[in-house]
Amino acid sequence: MASYAKRGGMWRAQVRRKGLSLSETFKSKADAVQWATQKEHEINLGKITAGSSRTVADAMREYEKRVSPTKRAARWEAIRFAAFIRDFPDIANMSLTEVDAAVMGRWRDARLAGDPENGRAAVGTATVLREINLYSHVFTTARDEWKWVTESPFKGMRRPSEPQPRKRRIAGEEVERLTQQLGYFDDRAPTTKSARIGAMLVWAIETAMRAGEIVGLTWEHVDLGKRFAHLPRTKTEVARDVPLSPRALAMLEQMKPLKDEFEGSVFGVDSAALDALFRKAKKAALIDDLHFHDTRREALTRLSKIFNVMELAKISGHRDLRILQEVYYAPHATDLADKLHQVST
């Protein structure tokens, strides 16, 4: 039942139902009764829930506090939530029950188009798709676990088309220019941080390991006798063993004089330094459109000349062979032609 009270010529209506408490002030009692009747009806239909008093920002902060810490991408998620709340305050301050597919569709379009006047650059569809996946999970968690909403606004929102898989490979000449710029040479221990990033670049091409896996590689997980590196923590949360090539084993011998300097870390470089110094080296070497992660594609394409697809998946940790084939295996047509000629001769 709703209650009404007159104060100073204004009527205040209060609705308490199913654990919810709503109130509003009106000039007339008739308006107050109409509003209260409508709200009771909406509560009964489930259109108004506990989430009605919660904003999008509330949900993101709650997710960051309760869910993100269980994931390796916690820092990235925290950055994304902070950026959303800062750049889209009109949506961030909306009640969860007011946000629908149209609202999030406008956010999607704004991210893709950018807003130069407010210092927001346009981003690619891959970035938007990653953000959609994150924000969608915020709403489904708020719906299924916290009971703050009854439906996710992403349910009816059109997703951008998946971008074409990146096919960039790194040429041998580019590797030479980068390692020289970084100060890494085969005949000496890489004592500087820059030189060790050069070593990490070569190691990535030899092993197909991700940047984060290389950063986290420790001596205790390297078995020189059995010639493999054990990765207990990976992007897919599934541990795997990576076979080491003769050059990778030689690099470990090269790193041995530095073994006691980095608290067990093989390369002694964190992700921030890797990113910053690799970007600097690319610019100095006049190399465009190259990401450190492109080494993984280069490595797997080279390894495909030795291993079949199932063996490649074992090395790379891919559980979806389609992704391995479409995104990371990028042979040149001449490589395939060479195979044809080898078979026919």
The residues carrying an active-site annotation are 210, 235, 318, 328
How far is the C-alpha of 184 from the C-alpha of 182, rounded, in Å? 6
Asked if residue 11 lies in contact with residue 36, where contact means CB atoms within 8 angstroms, the answer is no
CA gap 250, 116 in Å, rounded: 50
| The dihedral sign for the CA sequence 304, 308, 310, 314 | negative
Strands (DSSP E) contained in 58-126 are: none
The span from the CA of 187 to the CA of 179, in Å, is: 13
Task: Compute the distance between CA of residue 104 and CA of residue 156 in angstroms, rounded to an integer.
Answer: 10
Q: How far is CA 247 from CA 227, 243, 250, 292, in A?
A: 11, 12, 5, 19
What is the distance between the alpha carbons of residues 274 and 288, in angstroms, rounded to a whole number? 17
Query: Rounded CA gap, 59 and 124, in Å?
Result: 25
Instruction: Kindly write down the DSSP assignment for every residue of 187-252, as one continuous string.
Output: TS---SHHHHHHHHHHHHHHH---HHHHHT-BGGGEETTTTEEEESS-TTS--EEEE--HHHHHHH
Q: 52: which DSSP letter? A: G
- Assigned token pair, 345: 């001769």
The span from the CA of 64 to the CA of 56, in Å, is 12
Distances (CA, A) of 310 to 313, 319, 320: 5, 10, 11
> Do the beta carbons of residue 27 and residue 11 sit within 8 Å?
yes
